[in-house]
Amino acid sequence: MPKKFSQRSEDLRRALAQEAARIMAEHGIADFLQAKRKAADRLGVNDVAVLPKNIEIEAALREHQRLFGRDSHDDTLRDQRRIALETMRLLIEFQPRLVGSVLTGTATNYSDINLHLFADRSESVAIRLLELGVPHEFYERRVKMDADRSINFPALRFDANGRTVDATVFPIDGIRQSPYSPVDGRPMKRADVREVADLVDTI
């Protein structure tokens, strides 16, 4: 009997991951927890013990993108990475790094382009954007730096060729420590201009 319940739980967990992935892909929800809750509501699941991990949802999202509209997904990802590269080159003095779903390849058409920038003062990034004639908004982003510590960092949102860029500004020495990924809890992957240029050429 316990074995049967375990298999049922695994099947339900997989179904929740697939539904959460579909919601992220089709409805522009980027937050894993929100997608997870919507999937649970849709499938009538109240047991939090069977909710999938973020990394399971990301795997299901990759599979969804492979099965449904792969060509359009590749076109979107190529466009997002090209715009990311152009933006990074404009902000090269801040040692830009691409992070998040546009880097990992799971971005949807609704995904922001996420950058990490490094500067003594966040105002210097804002000044550079003003020089470029780019309207932007300032806010604070809470970033998980390790298992026990989260810190607020300044961040800016702005438009680049019809895509939203969300850039978090770290101190210059912040380039040595990557924050934790919300997907797998490990240090986030970061890609510099050269690495992003290589990605653009490979799609």
Residue ranges per structural domain of the chain: 2-67, 70-202
99 pLDDT above the threshold of 60: yes
Which residues on neighbouring strands pair with residue 154, listed in sequence order?
Answer: 140
pLDDT on residue 140: 96
The full 3-state SS of the chain, as one line of letters, equals CHHHHHHHHHHHHHHHHHHHHHHHHHHCCCCHHHHHHHHHHHHCCCCHHHCCCHHHHHHHHHHHHHHCCHHHHHHHHHHHHHHHHHHHHHCHHHCCEEECHHHHCCCCCCCCEEEEEECCCHHHHHHHHHHCCCCEEEEEEEEEEECCEEEEEEEEEEEECCEEEEEEEECHHHHHCCCECCCCCCECCCECHHHHHHHHHHC
Which residues on neighbouring strands pair with residue 152, listed in sequence order?
Answer: 142
pLDDT on residue 203: 59
pLDDT digits (tens, 9 = 90+) for 29-48: 888 999 999 999 999 988 88
202 pLDDT above the threshold of 80: no
pLDDT on residue 49: 86
What superfamily would CATH give domain 70-202? Beta Polymerase, domain 2 (3.30.460.10)
pLDDT on residue 120: 93
Determine the Cα–Cα distance for residues 32 and 82; give it in Å rounded to an integer.
Answer: 25
Note the Cα 160 to chain centre separation in Å.
17
